[in-house]
């Protein structure tokens, strides 16, 4: 089964430590009826800079970036079957979860949310997902 690389100009390409070096990652890969979206963070698509220190603002931007990649792959949040969330500080969970609930507007997914250290300073949240397109 061939894989198809999916890119969106409306979301940043992540996975870099030096912004001048091309990322080794795809924003998403479609394999068969599934779309696997790489972890998205709270980066402005144009500047690749963290949009704010506020977890609520970061959560919204991260989800907007995720949706932009989903759309480039022919999907919406309705196609998402699983999300994984990494929070730098688990104390941010209540605020993150409120923003998540509002953004999802009643759409249901399975989700795991863990604490960890996203790869970039200032990034407080990162989300990846799998969408079913069949």
Sheet containing 80-87: give its strands across. Answer: 3-6, 28-31, 34-40, 125-132, 80-87, 110-115
Written as one string, the DSSP assignment of 45-112 is TTT-SB--S-HHHHHHHHHHHHHHHHHHTT--GGGEEEEEEEESSGGGHHHHHHHHHHHHTT---EEE
What's the pLDDT tens digit per position in 65-112?
999 999 999 999 999 999 999 999 999 999 999 999 999 999 999 999
Among 109, 19, 30, 16, residue whose Cα is nearest residue 69: 30
Give the N- to C-terminal CA distance of the chain in Å, as an integer: 15
The pLDDT of residue 18 is 67
Q: Where are the domains of the chain?
A: 3-132
pLDDT band with cut points at 50, 70 and 90 for residue 132: very high
75 CA to centre of own chain = 14
pLDDT band with cut points at 50, 70 and 90 for residue 16: low
pLDDT band with cut points at 50, 70 and 90 for residue 15: low
Report how far residue 15's alpha carbon sits from residue 106's, in angstroms, rounded to the nearest whole number.
Answer: 30
The pLDDT of residue 25 is 87
In CATH, 3-132 is 3.40.50.970: no
Mean pLDDT within 112-125:
89
pTM comes to 0.93
């Amino acid at each position: 089964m061939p894989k198809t690389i999916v890119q969106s100009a409306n979301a940043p390409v992540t996975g870099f430590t030096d912004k001048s070096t091309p990322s080794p990652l795809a924003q998403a890969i479609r394999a068969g009826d599934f779309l696997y979206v790489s972890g998205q963070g709270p980066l402005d698509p144009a500047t690749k800079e963290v949009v704010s220190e506020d977890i609520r603002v970061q959560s919204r931007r991260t989800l907007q970036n995720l949706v932009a990649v989903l759309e480039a792959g022919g999907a919406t949040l309705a196609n998402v079957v699983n999300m994984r969330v990494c929070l730098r500080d688990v104390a941010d969970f209540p605020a993150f979860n409120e923003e998540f609930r509002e953004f999802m507007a009643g759409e249901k997914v399975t989700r795991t949310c863990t604490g960890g250290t996203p790869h970039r300073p200032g990034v407080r949240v990162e989300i990846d997902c799998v969408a079913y397109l069949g």
